[in-house]
């Protein structure tokens, strides 16, 4: 910039010099002609010199006026245009008359400066708005250049990567663990770091300073997909429950009727005994299958929660006293008030604590820890066991899936449905501080 300003001043001096030279050439014939007339009229030296000096002074003043009329406006306009090129739109050409060409040119340059200034303000406002939108949007956003180096990331993106902004910019997609996204198809579903969150990928390309860039936007579709899966399971459970119930009722009835007639049968005692045993198995299995169907009907027909104002601490204090198989440590947390259905929450926490107790006892330990905290306008309840951990975290909340020999696969699915009915969720992960698993229940707080 300093070099350009020095060059402009040098060009201005040369332009003024040329103007004086052109003026001299313009007025030189008149001065020579005046000198010849003075000599021919035989005017004495002193008066003739005085006349010649007056004429010379007049021509110099006239030349200076012409230079001021033409060069100075051009210099002023040059300063205005130069400041515009440097991004400063505050300078204007002042005092120009609109009745001449220079005045019209100055007016047009001033109008151009006004237009560029308005556009600059709009551009800055739009940039600030875009930056604000990127910061508050929940969808992670990444922009990579042609070398797959990260050039843009929003706060949601840094949160997903668990990195600060400084540890994101300038890193390659491979270093950030996002290389698969650049090669994936638009609209594909992805998971990261073994977490249950599922992301829908949207890809686009754009150019910045002529260079192509790739834009990646991730949308958390875990809840919509889970709701769709849940609806599908409910439909399946209703159909199976209806068909099985219709079939089990006559099977159980016929088995009971036949069993009541066994004593009146004639034949070998061993045959009658086998017959009675077989009918008893049919009846008991029909009973067990009927109870199994009824438990899943509860999952398919869970009513909406009847919300009441409850204290989370008091609710947990009551629930931990229900299971006496081992010591359950309840760590006191902050005072938390919820709008929730206490019966449904009690059922949810009973299932989760019972699972933690079962896992801890199976691994020959004797402690389950329950605690809660508040963050991000939500209450988080942690239930930590000392079991063997979770081998398959993806199917934990899928109906019919169970890791227990006598489990039905309905407990965790029902607990997750209750949590989501209250606007929360349950996450199950293996503990980082030792063996065992941690169930974290997130529930929204009461709005002030």
DSSP string computed for 24-36: HHHHHHHHHHHHH
Last residue of a domain, one of 300, 316, 344: 300
pLDDT of residue 448: 42
> What pLDDT, in 10s, does the model give residues 312-324?
999 999 888 888 8
204 contacts 141 by C-beta, under 8 angstroms: no
d(CA 192, CA 173): 14
Q: Are residues 206 and 293 in the same domain?
A: no
Tally of structural domains, the chain: 4
Q: Are residues 238 and 294 in the same domain?
A: yes
Residue 133 located in a structural domain: no
**161 Cβ contact list (under 8 Å, min separation 6):** 153, 168, 176, 177
pLDDT of residue 221: 74
Residue 45 located in a structural domain: yes
Range of the domain at 213: 138-220
Q: Are residues 339 and 439 in the same domain?
A: yes
pLDDT over 90 percentage in the chain: 8
Report helix, strand or coil for 54: helix
**440 Cβ contact list (under 8 Å, min separation 6):** 380, 381, 382, 383, 426, 427, 428, 429
Last residue of a domain, one of 258, 284, 300: 300
Q: Are residues 60 and 81 in the same domain?
A: yes
Which alpha helices (DSSP H) does 261-341 contain, by range?
269-300, 312-320
Task: List the Cα angle 85/87/92 in 5-degree steps.
Answer: 80
Mean pLDDT of the residues in the chain:
77
Worst-scoring range by mean pLDDT, 18-27, 111-120, 168-177? 18-27
- Higher per-residue confidence, 378 vs 295: 378
d(CA 90, CA 110): 10
Longest dimension (CA), the chain: 174
Q: Are residues 20 and 105 in the same domain?
A: yes
Q: Are residues 117 and 163 in the same domain?
A: no
Nearest to 383 by CA among 373, 397, 393, 374: 373
The residue with tokens 């909340």 is 397
């Amino acid at each position: 910039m300093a070099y350009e300003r020095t060059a402009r001043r040098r060009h201005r001096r040369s332009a003024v010099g040329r103007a004086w030279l052109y003026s001299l050439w313009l007025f030189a014939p008149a001065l020579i002609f005046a000198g010849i007339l003075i000599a021919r009229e035989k005017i004495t030296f002193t008066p003739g010199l005085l006349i010649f000096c007056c004429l010379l002074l007049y021509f110099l003043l006239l030349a200076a006026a012409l230079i001021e009329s033409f060069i100075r406006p051009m210099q002023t306009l040059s300063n205005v245009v130069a400041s515009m090129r440097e991004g400063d739109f505050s300078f204007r050409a002042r005092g120009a008359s609109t009745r001449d060409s220079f005045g019209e040119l100055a007016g047009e340059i001033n109008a151009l400066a006004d237009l560029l200034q308005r556009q600059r303000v709009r551009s800055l406002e739009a940039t600030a708005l875009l930056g604000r939108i990127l910061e508050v949007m929940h969808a992670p956003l990444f922009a990579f250049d042609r070398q797959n180096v990260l050039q843009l990331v929003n706060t949601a993106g840094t949160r997903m990567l668990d990195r600060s902004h400084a540890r994101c910019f300038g890193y390659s997609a491979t270093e950030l663990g996002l290389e698969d996204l650049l090669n994936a198809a638009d609209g594909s579903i992805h998971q990261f770091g073994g977490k249950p969150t599922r992301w829908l990928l949207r890809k686009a390309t754009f150019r910045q300073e002529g260079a192509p860039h790739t834009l990646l936007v991730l949308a958390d579709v875990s809840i919509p997909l889970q709701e769709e899966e849940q609806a599908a399971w409910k439909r399946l459970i209703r159909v199976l429950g209806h068909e099985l119930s219709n079939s089990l009722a006559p099977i159980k009835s016929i088995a009971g009727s036949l069993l009541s007639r066994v004593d009146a049968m004639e034949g070998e005692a061993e045959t009658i005994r086998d017959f009675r045993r077989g009918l008893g198995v049919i009846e008991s299995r029909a009973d067990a299958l009927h109870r199994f169907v009824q438990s899943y009907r509860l999952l398919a027909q869970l009513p909406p929660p009847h919300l009441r104002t409850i204290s989370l601490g008091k609710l947990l204090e009551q629930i931990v006293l229900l299971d006496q198989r081992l010591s359950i440590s309840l760590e006191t947390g902050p005072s938390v008030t919820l709008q929730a259905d206490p019966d449904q929450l009690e059922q949810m926490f009973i299932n989760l604590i019972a699972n933690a107790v079962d896992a801890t006892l199976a691994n020959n330990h004797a402690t389950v820890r329950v605690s809660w905290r508040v963050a991000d306008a939500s209450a988080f309840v942690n239930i930590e066991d000392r079991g063997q951990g979770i081998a398959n975290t993806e199917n934990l909340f899928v109906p019919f899936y169970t890791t227990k020999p006598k489990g039905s696969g309905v407990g965790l699915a029902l607990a997750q449905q209750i949590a989501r009915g209250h606007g929360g969720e349950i996450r199950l992960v293996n503990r980082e501080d030792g063996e065992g698993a941690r169930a974290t229940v997130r529930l929204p707080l009461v709005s002030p």
